[in-house]
Amino acid sequence: MEAVLNIEDLNVDFLIQGHEYPAVEHLSLYVNKNETIGIVGESGSGKSLTAKTILGILPRNAISHYQALEYKGQAIDFDNQTSMQNLRGNEISMIFQDPLSSLNPLLKVGKQVEEVLAIHKDYHSEQRRKMVFDLFEQVGFNDPEKIYHSYPHELSGGMRQRVVICMAIIANPGLIIADEPTTALDTTIQKQILDILHHLTKQKGNALMLISHDWGVIANMTDRVYVMYAGRVVETGPTKEVIENPQHAYTQGLLNAIPSLLNKGKKLYSIPFRVPSINEREKGQWPYIKLTQENKDEVEAMFPEVRSWSV
Ligand SMILES: Nc1ncnc2c1ncn2[C@@H]1O[C@H](COP(=O)(O)OP(=O)(O)OP(=O)(O)O)[C@@H](O)[C@H]1O
């Protein structure tokens, strides 16, 4: 099967005061049609930067290089503005954590969703409006007309994120990237929003890349998962297999640190280090953990790489 997205050996470095700091290293991943993949990892592991690389929206001081970065079998041409506009407008859409960052405060939300369709010349304006109303119904809005004429500030956070999901999906893109799409919402609303996203993407056959630090979300939503730590994928496989039988000791650690659901009754584990910030990383010294008397044995067991350090 041809992958919708294919990344081979992606590296992202930050150039800070003449020094290169590694943020993503040797990352390879793919997403197939109709598939939902998860990228899971603690804060600072490089999840968002991976997504931003795909869309060509990395910060200015970031340098990326890779073996392959392909959408539907074609190399993504970051230097070609027209092709990038088409990619971002029609082919790959992104849902961010904060819905307000994607919405224009001065425009009615219905118009904003409709505008996504404006570049599709095959629909006239009445058709477009009907498509928006239909989609509003599908995401659970009882009164699509009223929502259509609302401004972002008149809606709750959950409603806004539903509008953003509509914007992301209405042009039927090949791939949707959702970066922690519910983190900013109340826990009661989170599940509702994820269910909508899951249901719609499966129904319409869009590939979905879901970025989350929440294993519950990953378990419920994704077919395959990539587990990241400090810029690298440490483990990947079908989500169920990874959760039931994690191969990497770090993945095991992450799963044992979840308070409920997966390890009821067991003593809660706590990982004895944090993801090092970017300026604490020296190239060639992944996993960059500062060894102490207390954590040395555990870190070595988790990341045998540290044994090669000359410390
Ligand atoms: N503009 C920047 N300049 C310097 N370092 C940056 C910049 N943007 C991100 N980083 C660093 O790159 C690393 C990876 O960041 P990234 O945002 O991809 O992490 P993440 O896994 O998505 O975490 P989070 O869940 O906190 O968003 C982090 O250490 C982060 O501090």
90 lies in some domain = yes
What radius of gyration, in Å, describes the C-alpha atoms of the chain? Answer: 21
36 lies in some domain = yes
* Domain of 62, in residue numbers: 3-247
285 lies in some domain = no
- The best mutation among 12, 21, 49 to test binding of ligand 1, ranked by most ligand atoms within 8 Å of the C-beta, falls on 49
262 lies in some domain = no
The answer, yes or no, to whether residue 118 has pLDDT greater than 90, is no
- The best mutation among 16, 29, 48 to test binding of ligand 1, ranked by most ligand atoms within 8 Å of the C-beta, falls on 48
96 lies in some domain = yes
128 lies in some domain = yes
297 lies in some domain = no
Mean pLDDT estimate for the chain = 93
- CA-wise closest residue to 283 among 85, 3, 19: 19
Q: Per residue in 44-56, pLDDT tens? A: 999 999 999 999 9
Q: Encode 190-217: b = buried (16+ Cβ within 10 Å), e = exposed.
A: bebbbebbbebbeeeebbbbbbbbbbeb
**In the chain, how many domains are there?**
1
- pLDDT for position 307: 78
Distance, CA of 306 to CA of 156 (rounded, Å): 48
Q: Would the pTM of this model clear 0.90, i.e. be above it?
A: yes
- 42 within 8 A of 229, measured Cβ to Cβ: yes
For residue 23, report the distance from its CA to the centre of ligand 1, in Å: 7
Indicate whether this complex's ipTM tops 0.90. Answer: yes
Question: pLDDT-based confidence at 105, cuts 50/70/90?
Answer: very high
213 lines ligand 1 (CB under 6 A): yes
Q: List phi, psi (to 5°) of 63.
A: -120, 130
Tell me which amino acid residue 232 is: R
Question: pLDDT-based confidence at 203, cuts 50/70/90?
Answer: very high
The answer, yes or no, to whether residue 106 has pLDDT greater than 80, is yes
For residue 49, report the distance from its CA to the centre of ligand 1, in Å: 7
69 Cβ contact partners less than 8 Å away, ≥ 6 residues apart? 6, 7, 8, 10, 53, 54, 75, 76
* Token digits of residue 81: 């503005």
Per-residue pLDDT, averaged over 232-253, amounts to: 97
> Which DSSP state fits 279?
G
- Domain holding 156: CATH number? 3.40.50.300
- pLDDT for position 259: 80
257 lies in some domain = no
- pLDDT for position 261: 58
Pairing label, strands 175-179, 207-212: parallel
